[in-house]
Structure 1
Protein backbone atom coordinates (compact mmCIF):
# COMPACT_ATOMS: atom_id res chain seq x y z
CA UNK A 1 0.00 0.00 0.00
CA UNK A 2 1.37 3.36 -1.00
CA UNK A 3 1.41 5.56 2.08
CA UNK A 4 3.09 8.52 0.35
CA UNK A 5 0.90 11.66 0.41
CA UNK A 6 -0.87 12.34 -2.88
CA UNK A 7 -0.64 15.76 -4.44
CA UNK A 8 -4.00 17.38 -4.78
CA UNK A 9 -5.23 18.63 -8.14
CA UNK A 10 -4.92 22.21 -6.89
CA UNK A 11 -1.28 21.59 -5.94
CA UNK A 12 -0.56 20.19 -9.40
CA UNK A 13 -2.18 23.20 -11.04
CA UNK A 14 -0.17 25.50 -8.80
CA UNK A 15 3.07 23.81 -9.89
CA UNK A 16 2.12 24.06 -13.56
CA UNK A 17 1.21 27.72 -13.14
CA UNK A 18 4.49 28.43 -11.38
CA UNK A 19 6.44 26.68 -14.15
CA UNK A 20 4.63 28.67 -16.85
CA UNK A 21 5.32 31.91 -15.00
CA UNK A 22 9.00 31.05 -14.71
CA UNK A 23 9.18 30.26 -18.42
CA UNK A 24 7.37 33.50 -19.22
CA UNK A 25 9.87 35.47 -17.12
CA UNK A 26 12.80 34.01 -19.07
CA UNK A 27 10.94 34.52 -22.36
CA UNK A 28 10.23 38.16 -21.50
CA UNK A 29 13.89 38.75 -20.69
CA UNK A 30 14.80 37.39 -24.12
CA UNK A 31 12.35 39.28 -26.34
CA UNK A 32 11.40 42.48 -24.47
CA UNK A 33 14.29 44.57 -25.77
CA UNK A 34 13.73 43.69 -29.43
CA UNK A 35 9.95 43.97 -29.13
CA UNK A 36 10.30 47.44 -27.60
CA UNK A 37 12.57 48.58 -30.42
CA UNK A 38 9.99 47.34 -32.92
CA UNK A 39 7.09 49.07 -31.18
CA UNK A 40 8.96 52.32 -30.57
CA UNK A 41 9.77 52.51 -34.27
CA UNK A 42 6.17 51.70 -35.21
CA UNK A 43 4.76 54.33 -32.82
CA UNK A 44 7.30 56.99 -33.81
CA UNK A 45 9.25 56.90 -30.58
CA UNK A 46 6.35 56.85 -28.11
CA UNK A 47 8.06 54.80 -25.41
CA UNK A 48 5.04 54.67 -23.10
CA UNK A 49 2.74 53.38 -25.84
CA UNK A 50 5.39 50.86 -26.92
CA UNK A 51 5.73 49.58 -23.34
CA UNK A 52 1.95 49.24 -23.01
CA UNK A 53 1.65 47.27 -26.26
CA UNK A 54 4.46 44.88 -25.31
CA UNK A 55 3.09 44.34 -21.80
CA UNK A 56 -0.43 43.74 -23.10
CA UNK A 57 0.94 41.17 -25.55
CA UNK A 58 2.75 39.33 -22.74
CA UNK A 59 -0.41 39.28 -20.64
CA UNK A 60 -2.48 37.91 -23.53
CA UNK A 61 0.17 35.31 -24.32
CA UNK A 62 0.25 34.03 -20.75
CA UNK A 63 -3.52 34.12 -20.42
CA UNK A 64 -4.29 32.20 -23.62
CA UNK A 65 -1.19 30.12 -24.36
CA UNK A 66 0.51 29.31 -21.04
CA UNK A 67 0.49 25.59 -21.89
CA UNK A 68 2.32 26.06 -25.18
CA UNK A 69 6.05 25.40 -25.46
CA UNK A 70 8.50 28.29 -25.35
CA UNK A 71 9.35 27.68 -29.00
CA UNK A 72 5.70 28.12 -29.94
CA UNK A 73 5.52 31.32 -27.91
CA UNK A 74 7.76 33.30 -30.27
CA UNK A 75 5.44 33.48 -33.32
CA UNK A 76 2.38 33.60 -31.05
CA UNK A 77 3.76 36.58 -29.12
CA UNK A 78 4.57 38.56 -32.25
CA UNK A 79 1.18 37.72 -33.77
CA UNK A 80 -0.52 39.08 -30.65
CA UNK A 81 1.79 42.12 -30.64
CA UNK A 82 0.94 42.80 -34.29
CA UNK A 83 -2.78 42.71 -33.43
CA UNK A 84 -2.21 45.15 -30.56
CA UNK A 85 -0.24 47.48 -32.83
CA UNK A 86 -2.83 47.42 -35.61
CA UNK A 87 -5.62 48.13 -33.11
CA UNK A 88 -3.67 51.09 -31.76
CA UNK A 89 -2.96 52.41 -35.27
CA UNK A 90 -6.64 52.19 -36.19
CA UNK A 91 -7.63 54.11 -33.05
CA UNK A 92 -5.01 56.77 -33.81
CA UNK A 93 -6.21 57.04 -37.42
CA UNK A 94 -9.82 57.46 -36.28
CA UNK A 95 -8.77 60.05 -33.73
CA UNK A 96 -7.03 62.01 -36.48
CA UNK A 97 -10.01 61.57 -38.82
CA UNK A 98 -13.19 61.77 -36.69
CA UNK A 99 -15.50 60.49 -39.42
CA UNK A 100 -13.24 57.67 -40.61
CA UNK A 101 -15.50 55.04 -39.01
CA UNK A 102 -17.70 55.46 -42.09
CA UNK A 103 -15.03 53.97 -44.34
CA UNK A 104 -12.31 51.36 -44.20
CA UNK A 105 -8.97 52.77 -43.10
CA UNK A 106 -5.94 51.68 -45.09
CA UNK A 107 -2.98 51.77 -42.71
CA UNK A 108 -0.43 50.60 -45.24
CA UNK A 109 0.89 52.82 -47.98
CA UNK A 110 3.10 50.24 -49.67
CA UNK A 111 0.96 47.10 -49.91
CA UNK A 112 1.28 46.67 -53.67
CA UNK A 113 3.33 43.54 -54.24
CA UNK A 114 6.34 43.59 -56.53
CA UNK A 115 6.33 40.68 -58.96
CA UNK A 116 9.09 38.08 -59.20
CA UNK A 117 11.01 39.10 -56.08
CA UNK A 118 13.38 36.34 -55.03
CA UNK A 119 13.10 35.69 -51.32
CA UNK A 120 16.18 37.26 -49.79
CA UNK A 121 18.17 35.50 -47.13
CA UNK A 122 17.61 36.78 -43.63
CA UNK A 123 20.11 39.53 -42.92
CA UNK A 124 21.83 40.54 -39.76
CA UNK A 125 21.10 44.29 -39.49
CA UNK A 126 24.84 44.99 -39.75
CA UNK A 127 25.56 42.74 -42.74
CA UNK A 128 25.02 45.34 -45.44
CA UNK A 129 27.46 47.79 -43.88
CA UNK A 130 31.24 47.58 -44.17
CA UNK A 131 31.80 49.46 -40.95
CA UNK A 132 30.13 49.37 -37.57
CA UNK A 133 27.35 51.81 -36.79
CA UNK A 134 25.53 52.32 -33.54
CA UNK A 135 22.29 50.57 -32.70
CA UNK A 136 20.71 54.01 -32.37
CA UNK A 137 21.62 54.89 -35.96
CA UNK A 138 20.11 51.66 -37.24
CA UNK A 139 17.00 52.16 -35.10
CA UNK A 140 16.61 55.71 -36.43
CA UNK A 141 16.88 54.42 -40.00
CA UNK A 142 14.32 51.68 -39.30
CA UNK A 143 12.00 54.29 -37.78
CA UNK A 144 11.96 56.15 -41.11
CA UNK A 145 10.50 53.14 -42.92
CA UNK A 146 6.75 52.50 -43.31
CA UNK A 147 5.47 50.41 -40.41
CA UNK A 148 4.91 47.23 -42.44
CA UNK A 149 8.45 47.42 -43.80
CA UNK A 150 9.72 47.83 -40.25
CA UNK A 151 7.82 44.75 -39.15
CA UNK A 152 8.94 42.60 -42.08
CA UNK A 153 12.58 43.59 -41.61
CA UNK A 154 12.68 43.12 -37.85
CA UNK A 155 10.72 39.87 -37.81
CA UNK A 156 12.96 38.39 -40.49
CA UNK A 157 16.35 39.97 -39.79
CA UNK A 158 16.24 40.30 -36.00
CA UNK A 159 13.90 37.50 -34.96
CA UNK A 160 14.95 35.09 -37.73
CA UNK A 161 11.44 34.07 -38.80
CA UNK A 162 11.08 32.68 -42.31
CA UNK A 163 8.80 34.27 -44.91
CA UNK A 164 5.91 31.91 -44.21
CA UNK A 165 5.91 32.51 -40.43
CA UNK A 166 6.35 36.26 -40.92
CA UNK A 167 3.34 36.31 -43.24
CA UNK A 168 1.25 34.51 -40.62
CA UNK A 169 2.33 36.98 -37.92
CA UNK A 170 1.66 40.01 -40.12
CA UNK A 171 -1.52 38.46 -41.55
CA UNK A 172 -0.58 39.06 -45.14
CA UNK A 173 0.64 37.05 -48.12
CA UNK A 174 4.18 35.75 -48.44
CA UNK A 175 4.49 37.95 -51.53
CA UNK A 176 3.71 41.01 -49.40
CA UNK A 177 6.36 40.00 -46.86
CA UNK A 178 8.95 39.64 -49.65
CA UNK A 179 7.96 43.06 -50.99
CA UNK A 180 8.06 44.80 -47.60
CA UNK A 181 11.36 43.13 -46.70
CA UNK A 182 12.95 43.96 -50.06
CA UNK A 183 11.90 47.60 -49.82
CA UNK A 184 13.06 47.80 -46.19
CA UNK A 185 16.55 46.59 -47.13
CA UNK A 186 16.72 49.08 -49.99
CA UNK A 187 15.51 51.88 -47.71
CA UNK A 188 18.03 51.06 -44.99
CA UNK A 189 20.89 50.86 -47.46
CA UNK A 190 19.94 54.28 -48.77
CA UNK A 191 19.50 55.83 -45.31
CA UNK A 192 22.79 54.43 -44.02
CA UNK A 193 24.80 54.85 -47.23
CA UNK A 194 26.66 57.87 -45.82
CA UNK A 195 28.08 55.59 -43.13
CA UNK A 196 29.33 53.08 -45.70
CA UNK A 197 31.63 54.82 -48.20
CA UNK A 198 32.65 51.49 -49.75
CA UNK A 199 29.19 50.08 -50.44
CA UNK A 200 27.91 52.61 -52.93
CA UNK A 201 24.33 52.38 -51.60
CA UNK A 202 22.01 49.64 -52.80
CA UNK A 203 23.45 46.52 -54.33
CA UNK A 204 20.45 46.22 -56.66
Structure 2
Protein backbone atom coordinates (compact mmCIF):
# COMPACT_ATOMS: atom_id res chain seq x y z
CA UNK A 1 0.00 0.00 0.00
CA UNK A 2 1.34 3.41 -0.91
CA UNK A 3 1.50 5.41 2.33
CA UNK A 4 3.18 8.44 0.80
CA UNK A 5 1.11 11.63 1.15
CA UNK A 6 -0.85 12.42 -1.98
CA UNK A 7 0.21 15.53 -3.78
CA UNK A 8 -2.60 17.84 -4.81
CA UNK A 9 -2.66 18.30 -8.55
CA UNK A 10 -2.00 21.81 -9.76
CA UNK A 11 -4.99 23.33 -11.48
CA UNK A 12 -4.98 22.71 -15.20
CA UNK A 13 -3.83 25.84 -17.03
CA UNK A 14 -6.71 25.58 -19.48
CA UNK A 15 -9.17 25.53 -16.56
CA UNK A 16 -7.55 28.59 -14.98
CA UNK A 17 -7.65 30.38 -18.32
CA UNK A 18 -11.30 29.50 -18.80
CA UNK A 19 -12.15 30.70 -15.29
CA UNK A 20 -10.33 34.00 -15.82
CA UNK A 21 -12.09 34.53 -19.14
CA UNK A 22 -15.46 33.78 -17.54
CA UNK A 23 -14.77 36.25 -14.73
CA UNK A 24 -13.65 38.86 -17.24
CA UNK A 25 -16.83 38.39 -19.26
CA UNK A 26 -18.95 38.98 -16.17
CA UNK A 27 -16.79 41.93 -15.14
CA UNK A 28 -17.09 43.50 -18.60
CA UNK A 29 -20.85 43.05 -18.52
CA UNK A 30 -20.99 44.95 -15.25
CA UNK A 31 -18.72 47.91 -15.94
CA UNK A 32 -18.81 48.46 -19.72
CA UNK A 33 -21.86 50.71 -19.69
CA UNK A 34 -20.53 53.09 -17.05
CA UNK A 35 -17.02 53.07 -18.52
CA UNK A 36 -18.39 53.99 -21.95
CA UNK A 37 -20.41 56.86 -20.49
CA UNK A 38 -17.25 58.16 -18.82
CA UNK A 39 -15.15 57.88 -21.98
CA UNK A 40 -17.79 59.35 -24.27
CA UNK A 41 -18.00 62.40 -22.02
CA UNK A 42 -14.21 62.69 -21.81
CA UNK A 43 -13.78 62.41 -25.61
CA UNK A 44 -16.62 64.83 -26.45
CA UNK A 45 -19.00 62.07 -27.52
CA UNK A 46 -16.60 60.32 -29.89
CA UNK A 47 -18.22 56.93 -29.43
CA UNK A 48 -15.71 55.03 -31.58
CA UNK A 49 -12.76 56.38 -29.61
CA UNK A 50 -14.56 55.71 -26.32
CA UNK A 51 -15.22 52.09 -27.31
CA UNK A 52 -11.60 51.61 -28.39
CA UNK A 53 -10.28 52.97 -25.07
CA UNK A 54 -12.58 50.72 -23.03
CA UNK A 55 -11.75 47.63 -25.10
CA UNK A 56 -8.01 48.32 -24.90
CA UNK A 57 -8.30 48.68 -21.12
CA UNK A 58 -10.07 45.31 -20.86
CA UNK A 59 -7.39 43.66 -23.00
CA UNK A 60 -4.60 45.12 -20.86
CA UNK A 61 -6.39 44.10 -17.68
CA UNK A 62 -6.74 40.49 -18.82
CA UNK A 63 -3.21 40.35 -20.17
CA UNK A 64 -1.50 41.69 -17.05
CA UNK A 65 -3.86 40.95 -14.16
CA UNK A 66 -5.86 37.82 -15.02
CA UNK A 67 -4.72 36.22 -11.75
CA UNK A 68 -6.09 39.06 -9.59
CA UNK A 69 -9.44 38.84 -7.83
CA UNK A 70 -12.48 40.50 -9.33
CA UNK A 71 -12.51 43.07 -6.51
CA UNK A 72 -8.93 44.03 -7.34
CA UNK A 73 -9.91 44.45 -10.98
CA UNK A 74 -12.11 47.50 -10.34
CA UNK A 75 -9.38 50.03 -9.42
CA UNK A 76 -6.90 48.34 -11.78
CA UNK A 77 -9.29 48.64 -14.72
CA UNK A 78 -10.05 52.29 -14.12
CA UNK A 79 -6.35 53.05 -13.61
CA UNK A 80 -5.56 51.46 -16.98
CA UNK A 81 -8.50 53.26 -18.58
CA UNK A 82 -7.38 56.61 -17.14
CA UNK A 83 -3.85 56.08 -18.48
CA UNK A 84 -5.17 55.27 -21.95
CA UNK A 85 -7.45 58.31 -21.87
CA UNK A 86 -4.59 60.59 -20.86
CA UNK A 87 -2.37 59.13 -23.64
CA UNK A 88 -5.16 59.81 -26.14
CA UNK A 89 -5.64 63.36 -24.87
CA UNK A 90 -1.92 64.08 -25.16
CA UNK A 91 -1.89 62.83 -28.75
CA UNK A 92 -4.90 64.99 -29.56
CA UNK A 93 -3.27 68.02 -27.92
CA UNK A 94 -0.07 67.49 -29.91
CA UNK A 95 -2.05 67.06 -33.11
CA UNK A 96 -3.80 70.36 -32.46
CA UNK A 97 -0.55 72.17 -31.57
CA UNK A 98 2.21 71.85 -34.19
CA UNK A 99 5.67 71.19 -32.71
CA UNK A 100 4.18 70.57 -29.26
CA UNK A 101 6.19 67.32 -29.12
CA UNK A 102 9.19 69.51 -28.25
CA UNK A 103 7.63 70.45 -24.92
CA UNK A 104 5.55 68.89 -22.19
CA UNK A 105 1.83 69.02 -22.89
CA UNK A 106 -0.15 70.11 -19.83
CA UNK A 107 -3.70 68.78 -19.82
CA UNK A 108 -4.98 69.56 -16.36
CA UNK A 109 -4.69 71.79 -13.32
CA UNK A 110 -3.95 69.04 -10.80
CA UNK A 111 -1.18 71.10 -9.29
CA UNK A 112 -3.72 73.74 -8.23
CA UNK A 113 -5.68 72.67 -5.19
CA UNK A 114 -8.33 74.53 -3.25
CA UNK A 115 -7.32 74.59 0.38
CA UNK A 116 -9.60 73.25 3.12
CA UNK A 117 -12.06 71.54 0.80
CA UNK A 118 -14.31 69.26 2.80
CA UNK A 119 -13.98 65.61 1.76
CA UNK A 120 -17.58 65.27 0.69
CA UNK A 121 -19.43 61.97 0.79
CA UNK A 122 -20.04 59.88 -2.30
CA UNK A 123 -23.78 60.23 -2.93
CA UNK A 124 -25.88 58.25 -5.32
CA UNK A 125 -25.93 60.71 -8.24
CA UNK A 126 -29.69 60.34 -8.68
CA UNK A 127 -30.41 61.00 -5.00
CA UNK A 128 -27.84 63.79 -4.98
CA UNK A 129 -29.41 65.56 -7.94
CA UNK A 130 -33.03 64.61 -7.13
CA UNK A 131 -35.47 62.40 -8.96
CA UNK A 132 -36.63 65.51 -10.83
CA UNK A 133 -33.51 65.26 -13.01
CA UNK A 134 -33.25 62.42 -15.55
CA UNK A 135 -30.22 60.22 -16.22
CA UNK A 136 -29.76 61.80 -19.66
CA UNK A 137 -29.78 65.29 -18.16
CA UNK A 138 -27.17 64.24 -15.59
CA UNK A 139 -25.01 62.70 -18.31
CA UNK A 140 -25.28 65.83 -20.48
CA UNK A 141 -24.30 68.01 -17.52
CA UNK A 142 -21.32 65.78 -16.67
CA UNK A 143 -20.14 66.01 -20.28
CA UNK A 144 -19.89 69.80 -19.92
CA UNK A 145 -17.44 69.53 -17.01
CA UNK A 146 -13.65 69.53 -17.48
CA UNK A 147 -12.38 65.97 -17.95
CA UNK A 148 -10.72 65.66 -14.54
CA UNK A 149 -13.89 66.85 -12.80
CA UNK A 150 -15.84 64.28 -14.80
CA UNK A 151 -13.47 61.56 -13.64
CA UNK A 152 -13.50 62.59 -10.00
CA UNK A 153 -17.29 62.71 -9.89
CA UNK A 154 -17.97 59.46 -11.77
CA UNK A 155 -15.28 57.48 -9.96
CA UNK A 156 -16.57 58.58 -6.58
CA UNK A 157 -20.32 58.93 -7.11
CA UNK A 158 -20.88 56.15 -9.65
CA UNK A 159 -18.13 53.68 -8.83
CA UNK A 160 -18.04 54.43 -5.09
CA UNK A 161 -14.25 54.70 -4.77
CA UNK A 162 -12.92 56.65 -1.81
CA UNK A 163 -10.66 59.67 -2.18
CA UNK A 164 -7.43 57.71 -1.77
CA UNK A 165 -8.32 55.09 -4.39
CA UNK A 166 -9.60 57.75 -6.77
CA UNK A 167 -6.31 59.62 -6.43
CA UNK A 168 -4.39 56.44 -7.26
CA UNK A 169 -6.55 55.81 -10.31
CA UNK A 170 -6.25 59.40 -11.55
CA UNK A 171 -2.54 59.54 -10.69
CA UNK A 172 -2.87 62.73 -8.68
CA UNK A 173 -2.97 63.85 -5.06
CA UNK A 174 -5.94 63.35 -2.76
CA UNK A 175 -6.15 67.15 -2.53
CA UNK A 176 -6.60 67.33 -6.31
CA UNK A 177 -9.38 64.75 -6.17
CA UNK A 178 -11.17 66.74 -3.46
CA UNK A 179 -10.82 69.90 -5.54
CA UNK A 180 -12.06 68.31 -8.77
CA UNK A 181 -14.92 66.55 -6.98
CA UNK A 182 -15.96 69.71 -5.12
CA UNK A 183 -15.96 71.73 -8.34
CA UNK A 184 -17.82 68.98 -10.19
CA UNK A 185 -20.61 69.02 -7.63
CA UNK A 186 -20.83 72.79 -7.81
CA UNK A 187 -20.84 72.69 -11.61
CA UNK A 188 -23.52 70.01 -11.80
CA UNK A 189 -25.77 71.78 -9.33
CA UNK A 190 -25.41 75.03 -11.25
CA UNK A 191 -25.97 73.37 -14.64
CA UNK A 192 -29.10 71.54 -13.46
CA UNK A 193 -30.56 74.18 -11.15
CA UNK A 194 -33.00 75.35 -13.84
CA UNK A 195 -34.52 71.85 -13.79
CA UNK A 196 -34.77 71.70 -10.02
CA UNK A 197 -34.54 75.03 -8.14
CA UNK A 198 -33.88 73.15 -4.88
CA UNK A 199 -30.41 72.21 -6.13
CA UNK A 200 -29.10 75.74 -5.95
CA UNK A 201 -25.66 76.71 -7.22
CA UNK A 202 -23.48 75.68 -4.31
CA UNK A 203 -22.50 72.44 -2.64
CA UNK A 204 -22.47 74.04 0.81
Scaled by the length of structure 1, the TM-score of the pair is: 0.93
Partner of 2:16: 16
Contact 1:190–1:202 (CA under 8 A) maintained in structure 2 = yes
**Structure 1 residue runs of 4+, over 6 Å off?**
6-9
Structure 1 vs Structure 2 CA RMSD: 1.8
What SS does the corresponding residue of 1:25 show, helix, strand or coil? helix
Taking the aligned partners of 1:73 and 1:18, their CA distance within structure 2 comes to 17
Matched, 1:197 2:197: yes
Aligned-residue offset at 1:134: 1.8
Partner of 1:175: 175
Aligned-residue offset at 1:109: 4.3
Q: Identify if the C-alpha distance between structure 1 residues 109 and 125 changes in structure 2 by more than 3 Å, giving closer, same or farther.
A: same
Taking the aligned partners of 1:38 and 1:113, their CA distance within structure 2 comes to 23
Partner of 2:75: 75
Taking the aligned partners of 1:172 and 1:156, their CA distance within structure 2 comes to 14
Taking the aligned partners of 1:198 and 1:168, their CA distance within structure 2 comes to 34
Partner of 1:96: 96
Q: Can you list the C-alpha shifts for 1:52-94, whole angstroms capped at 9, x where unaligned?
A: 0000000000000000000000000000000000000000001
Matched, 1:35 2:35: yes
Taking the aligned partners of 2:31 and 2:117, their CA distance within structure 1 comes to 30
Contact 2:126–2:135 (CA under 8 A) maintained in structure 1 = no
Alignment of 1:112-191 (within 5 A): 112-191=112-191
Which consecutive unaligned segments of at least 5 residues does structure 2 have? none
* Higher alpha-carbon deviation: 191-200 or 84-93: 191-200
Contact 1:122–1:160 (CA under 8 A) maintained in structure 2 = yes
Contact 1:152–1:166 (CA under 8 A) maintained in structure 2 = yes
Q: Identify if the C-alpha distance between structure 1 residues 43 and 111 changes in structure 2 by more than 3 Å, giving closer, same or farther.
A: farther
Aligned-residue offset at 1:105: 0.6
Taking the aligned partners of 2:76 and 2:110, their CA distance within structure 1 comes to 25
